[in-house]
A = this chain, B = another copy of it.
Amino acid sequence: MSAVPHDAATEAPRRPLPETLLAALRTRFGERCSTAEAVRLQHGRDESPFPVTPPDAVVFCESSEEVAFVVRLAGEHRVPLIPYGTGSSLEGHLLAVQGGLSVDVSRLTRVLRIDADDLTATVEAGVTREQLNAELGLFFPVDPGANASIGGMAATRASGTNAVRYGTMRENVLALTVVTGTGEVVRTGTRARKSAAGYDLTRLFVGSEGTLGVMTELTVRLYPLPEAVSAAVCHFPDVASAVRTTIQTIQLGVPIARCELLDVNAVRAVNRQSGLGLREAPMLLMEFHGSPAGVQEQAETVQAIAAELGGEDFEWADTPEERSRLWAARHRAYFAGMQQHPGTRSVTTDTCVPISRLAEIVEASVADAEASGLPYYIVGHVGDGNFHLAYLVREGDAAQRATAEAMSERMVRRAIAMEGTCSGEHGVGLHKMGFLEEEAGAGGIALMRAVKQALDPLGILNPGKIFRA
């Protein structure tokens, strides 16, 4: 594992697209096949700090059959192919490190079915989470910060602030339509809530980051809108007390819906950007779902725990407007953090540990960050044991970047030693390939490679991601 394991990947060999391939794409897709530089540049980056690495062409697909056509053609020519949704991934998933085609599914935006009685929806892969929730009198809970596509969220096994109660994409995708590495359109799973019928192909594709197939349709679980919702903010003298409050809440079995940590730096950034006027101290932002009485009971339990651990200024946000303002601010924390320090990009960690170890890893990592002198902030889905410490490094400053990557590496080593994971929700992409090797070990990597070889025998699906070539 090297401190900056990913930059090497951009040095992989590239060869120009075969002319016959391009001609076939242009015949079928016309204007929807683009080699314009602006389009290629847009599709050669995500929200990671990596240098833009554009594909050779971008194809805007509008159906599973079109995706299958592109996959078969790419297979014939042994050309790499990267599925693209909204470009909001964080670990370099979308960079065309071996050139090839970007298969843009963002025009697959039809909500195909809402089965309200069954609490399921079937959508095309380019539908975004905000679009889906806007069409519902129900609730799709998985909410990464960005307004990501449902396909991209499944591909990276995304979660977000509601996962502590409602689970991640792992728990909330019931079935998929996938274009396989050989260009077949295959349906995995059914609309039944559970199944013991054969291998769990759905969960094999969820989190596979475009390396095993291209998702084109997804059937997801929905939830009734909670009868009552209440949010609360509580401040703490230090991050550790906030974390300990979370740990006790989870251990008591309180069905808290959201439990988010913001450190003082994140609160400050959010205040600047959103004018919220929050007290600038470490803080938990919590939400409770249930019946009116149930919500009150949960909140009182947590309030009592917080009070014992030094929590102060427990404040309610009961109106939808207040809640929206708080959660919008939370979701903007990532960009707010960077805006505090113009000209920087963020090197973001994503460890997730067994909850009993959370205070310990946060404290050690804060000490490391403080000693480095780099600006940083912390936000965390602490109810899951998952937090993000983002180091802000000046764009192009190799020394700062190396300092940040070295801290990130130390944090991952801590997490693995605590039986945790290098990625709670952002995925592996380019950035965490070395970390995954440490976490999964040679045996685990060998199994993953065997699966990759079996489902993508031509090696064309997002090559150079998840594991090194």
Chain B residues in 8 Å Cβ range of A414: none
Determine which of B118, B186, B200, B355 lies in contact with A441 in the assembled complex, contact meaning CB atoms within 8 Å: B186
Task: Please tell me if the beta carbons of A253 and B193 are within 8 angstroms of each other in the complex.
Answer: no
Q: How far, in whole Å, are A197 and B425 apart by their CA atoms in the complex?
A: 8
| Residue A344 CB within 8 A of the other chain | no
Stretch at the interface among A46-54, A163-171, A321-329: A163-171
Q: How far, in whole Å, are A408 and B439 apart by their CA atoms in the complex?
A: 45
Task: Please tell me if the beta carbons of A198 and B352 are within 8 angstroms of each other in the complex.
Answer: no
Task: Please tell me if the beta carbons of A419 and B192 are within 8 angstroms of each other in the complex.
Answer: yes
Q: A119-B250, A193-B384, A196-B207 are in contact. List 4 more A-B contacts (CB 8 A).
A: A192-B353, A197-B436, A200-B207, A453-B454
Task: Please tell me if the beta carbons of B180 and A443 are within 8 angstroms of each other in the complex.
Answer: yes
Q: How far, in whole Å, are A395 and B227 apart by their CA atoms in the complex?
A: 53
| Residue A247 CB within 8 A of the other chain | yes
Nearest-CB residue, chain B, relative to A455: B450
| Residue A39 CB within 8 A of the other chain | no
Task: Please tell me if the beta carbons of A356 and B185 are within 8 angstroms of each other in the complex.
Answer: no
Chain B residues in 8 Å Cβ range of A416: 190
Q: How far, in whole Å, are A204 and B420 apart by their CA atoms in the complex?
A: 20
Determine which of B115, B163, B290, B439 lies in contact with A354 in the assembled complex, contact meaning CB atoms within 8 Å: B115
| Residue A423 CB within 8 A of the other chain | yes
Task: Please tell me if the beta carbons of B119 and A197 are within 8 angstroms of each other in the complex.
Answer: no
Kindly identify, within residues 413 to 469 of chain A, every residue whose CB is under 8 Å from any CB belonging to chain B.
415-416, 419-428, 432, 435-436, 439-441, 443-444, 446-448, 450-455, 466-467
Task: Please tell me if the beta carbons of A425 and B201 are within 8 angstroms of each other in the complex.
Answer: no
Task: Please tell me if the beta carbons of B190 and A199 are within 8 angstroms of each other in the complex.
Answer: no
Q: Which residues of A contact B (CB under 8 A)?
A: 115-120, 156-159, 163, 167-168, 170-171, 180, 184-188, 190-201, 203-204, 206-208, 212, 223-224, 226-227, 247, 250-253, 255, 290-291, 293-294, 297, 350, 352-356, 384-386, 415-416, 419-428, 432, 435-436, 439-441, 443-444, 446-448, 450-455, 466-467
Task: Please tell me if the beta carbons of B198 and A428 are within 8 angstroms of each other in the complex.
Answer: yes
Leading 5 A-B pairs by shortest Cβ distance? A186-B443, A224-B253, A454-B454, A117-B356, A118-B354
Copies in the complex: 2
Task: Please tell me if the beta carbons of B196 and A204 are within 8 angstroms of each other in the complex.
Answer: no
Determine which of B116, B253, B440 lies in contact with A226 in the assembled complex, contact meaning CB atoms within 8 Å: B253
Q: How far is the CB of A211 from chain B (nearest CB, A)?
A: 9
Chain B residues in 8 Å Cβ range of A251: 116-117, 119, 224
Q: How far, in whole Å, are A424 and B194 apart by their CA atoms in the complex?
A: 6
The contact sample of 28 A-B pairs, CB cut-off 8 A, is A115-B356, A117-B355, A159-B194, A168-B194, A171-B171, A184-B443, A185-B443, A186-B443, A187-B441, A191-B419, A193-B355, A194-B425, A195-B424, A196-B428, A197-B421, A197-B423, A197-B427, A197-B435, A197-B436, A197-B439, A198-B444, A198-B467, A199-B204, A201-B448, A224-B252, A450-B454, A451-B451, A451-B455
Chain B residues in 8 Å Cβ range of A435: 197
Q: How far, in whole Å, are A384 and B187 apart by their CA atoms in the complex?
A: 21
Q: How far, in whole Å, are A384 and B195 apart by their CA atoms in the complex?
A: 10
Task: Please tell me if the beta carbons of B448 and A194 are within 8 angstroms of each other in the complex.
Answer: no
Task: Please tell me if the beta carbons of A204 and B207 are within 8 angstroms of each other in the complex.
Answer: no
Given known contacts A157-B196, A444-B187, A451 and B421 CB-to-CB distance under 8 angstroms: no
Chain B residues in 8 Å Cβ range of A188: 440, 444, 447
Task: Please tell me if the beta carbons of B352 and A195 are within 8 angstroms of each other in the complex.
Answer: yes
Q: How far, in whole Å, are A2 and B134 apart by their CA atoms in the complex?
A: 46
Chain B residues in 8 Å Cβ range of A451: 199, 204, 451, 454-455
Q: How far, in whole Å, are A42 and B147 apart by their CA atoms in the complex?
A: 56
Chain B residues in 8 Å Cβ range of A195: 157, 352, 421, 423-424
